[in-house]
Chain A
Amino acid sequence: MIVQHHNSQNSNSGDLNLAALDLIGAHVAMLDAEGNIIAVNQAWQNFARQNACNNDACGIGANYLNVCDSSSGPGSEEAKAIAQAIRDIIRRKRSSFWVEYPCHSPDQRRWFQMRVSHYDSTGGARVLVAHENITETKLAHEELRKREEMLTHAARLNTLGEMVTGITHEINQPLAAISVYAKSCLQLLKSTPDLPDNVIENIQKISEQAHRAGAIIKNLHDLAKKRPSIQEIVPLNELLRGVIGICEMEVKQKGANIRCEFDSPPPLIKVDSVQIQQVLLNLIMNALTAIKENRPEERSILTQGHRNSANSVEISVTDQGCGVPDEYENEIFKPFVTSKDFNIGIGLSISKSIVENHGGRIWFSRNVKRGVTFHFTVPLAMEKIE
């Protein structure tokens, strides 16, 4: 630590503190009550040297407040705000301050965190300024966010594919009926004499148009065909944790909490992770909607995963919400059935088709006290070869 001499009226313990500052990675400078830099640690000096910063601007003797105030170009707004914060700290208007800022070098993206705090020394009021390189943490966060986005995107695409499958079915049924009705009209008219002009042709056209619509639907279906399902062996807890990571913000925002319980050691399951996470996400989001009117202490969701037979695991999501209306009892897994005004009602039908494609089943039960529990099963990965 380099200390300006006329100010170095420190005791031995003060020397020790200053020496200790050389050991840490953050760039630390000490300012006096006027904002003059009176001491800097080793990291500060190294950084100044590496970034070709001259001593007048950031070395001992320079006035840090002036440097901030006179900065121009990108970041100058922040620099002025920082100067203001330092002044507030000197005047004891606030005790500390921190800010994160980007500071990219020509060949590298970098982020720093700046912390400012106050302390009293025998020589008067002092301000400590520390800059710490947080690039790694920042990049890791960014990477995590990107992955979550990718997962959500994959889940959404998957939803779209499942939706098209459902719609294909719902539309092809009436199209087939239209075409068959038209055909039977033609059959009935065969023996009718003196038909008005074009009756036969027009009925034929009805049938042609029904087939044309069918062909369009078929193309759409082929286009949206699900990506091939990728089955992998994953520990149940990892899968649950991934889902909870995705919906945590939403859960917090609604003032709810979510708990997770599973067998120990966690069972290994063989599933398409993206799809099964999508099912869980659906069930958790439904639970969240069901409990949103509850008192805050009753807004909890319980997710469980237990082995329920030699070759399957049962996963359940329990809420204390408003439950399932009786009239939906048998309908709830069908597409476009919903009790919510803002929902198109495909979540559970998609979940059902995903679970069934995994060879499992999905159902719900009413809790003794309040709310419902949705259950589904997934195949256990064979851990041992017998």
Chain B
Amino acid sequence: MSNNKTVYIVDDDVAIRDSLSAFLSSVGLTVKTFDTAEAFLNNYINDDVGCLVLDVRMSPMSGLELQQTLLSRKNMIPIIFLTAHGDLSMAVRAMREGAFDFFEKPFDEQRLLDRINQALRLSQSRQQEVYIKQSIQEKLKQLTAREREIVDRIITGQANKVIALELGLSERTVELHRARSYEKLGAKSLAELVRMLLAVE
């Protein structure tokens, strides 16, 4: 997982891109700017940690359309909208679709910066979740078919004895499979095992 956090600025106004990029860089953030929604889509990699600062009114693809496109790709990058219009209905729509925040130009830079930092933390924790999920899935792949079968029964609360009976194995064999599964998954308790499997469900 990359530790790079990037603020993506998408705005068709060059002065907005230039000034925001100067300001955010001056506080130590990594910034990438794009003049159209299309240019952003062509350069953005789906699971980068970051936050999108997006102008509402652009053409041909508007900020709201870009939001829809990202949603349809199941992309969860937090979006902070900027508008020079003060159009409330647009703000409502953007927020309903899950925007992180909405600012009217001109805005309070400190407040924007605070929200950008919060958005970056959100993106990072989401990325963390994705990472954890992936690593659990990797571990699950190491289980044999028999081990997986037993794990699935353990988490529904079946006792070793019952599992042994139903699968036609000895209780000892079930215990061995169980121990090896815990070891492969790195789980220390039943509770932890359940949590792992729920996370990837």
A133 to B20, CA, bound (A): 74
Interface-centre pick from A178, A181, A187, A221 (highest chain B CB count, 10 A): A187
Closest chain-B Cβ to A169's Cβ sits at a distance in Å of 5
- The stretch that binds B, out of A63-71, A210-218, A253-261, A310-318, is A210-218
Return B103 CB to nearest CB of chain A, in Å.
9
With a CB–CB cut-off of 8 A, which chain A residues contact B38? none
Q: Is the CB of A187 within 8 A of B19?
A: no
Selected contact of A179 from candidates B13, B26, B84, B106, CB within 8 Å:
B106
Task: For the complex, count residues of A whose C-beta is within 8 A of B.
Answer: 23
A121 within 8 A of B: no
Chain B residue nearest in CB terms to A213: B106
B13 touches A183 (CB 8 A): no
Residues of B in contact with A, size category: 20 to 34
Say whether, besides A184-B19, A184-B22, A218-B86, A176 and B106 are in contact (CB < 8 Å): yes
Minimum C-beta distance from B17 to chain A (A): 9
Whether B23 lies near A177 (C-beta < 8 A) is no
| CB-defined contacts of B65 to chain A, threshold 8 Å | none
**B13 & A177 in contact (Cβ 8 Å cutoff):** yes
A177 touches B84 (CB 8 A): no
The CA-CA distance from A181 to B19 in the complex, in Å, is 5
Majority secondary structure of chain A interface residues (helix, strand, loop or mixed): helix
Q: Does A173 reach chain B (CB closer than 8 Å)?
A: yes
Q: Scoring A residues 147 to 185 as 1 if CB is less than 8 Å from chain B, else 0, what string do you get?
A: 000000000000000000100111011111111110110
B-contact 0/1 string along A201-221, CB 8 Å cutoff: 000000000110010001001
Contacts of B171 in A (CB 8 A): none
Beyond the given A173-B105, A177-B18, could you list 13 further A-B residue pairs with CB under 8 A, ordered by the A residue number?
Answer: A172-B84, A172-B106, A173-B15, A175-B105, A175-B106, A176-B106, A177-B19, A180-B20, A180-B23, A184-B23, A188-B26, A214-B106, A221-B86
29 A-B pairs with C-beta separation under 8 A: A168-B86, A169-B85, A172-B85, A172-B86, A172-B104, A173-B13, A173-B16, A173-B84, A174-B15, A175-B105, A175-B106, A176-B16, A176-B105, A177-B13, A177-B18, A178-B19, A178-B106, A179-B106, A179-B107, A179-B109, A180-B19, A181-B19, A181-B23, A183-B23, A183-B110, A184-B22, A184-B26, A210-B106, A211-B106
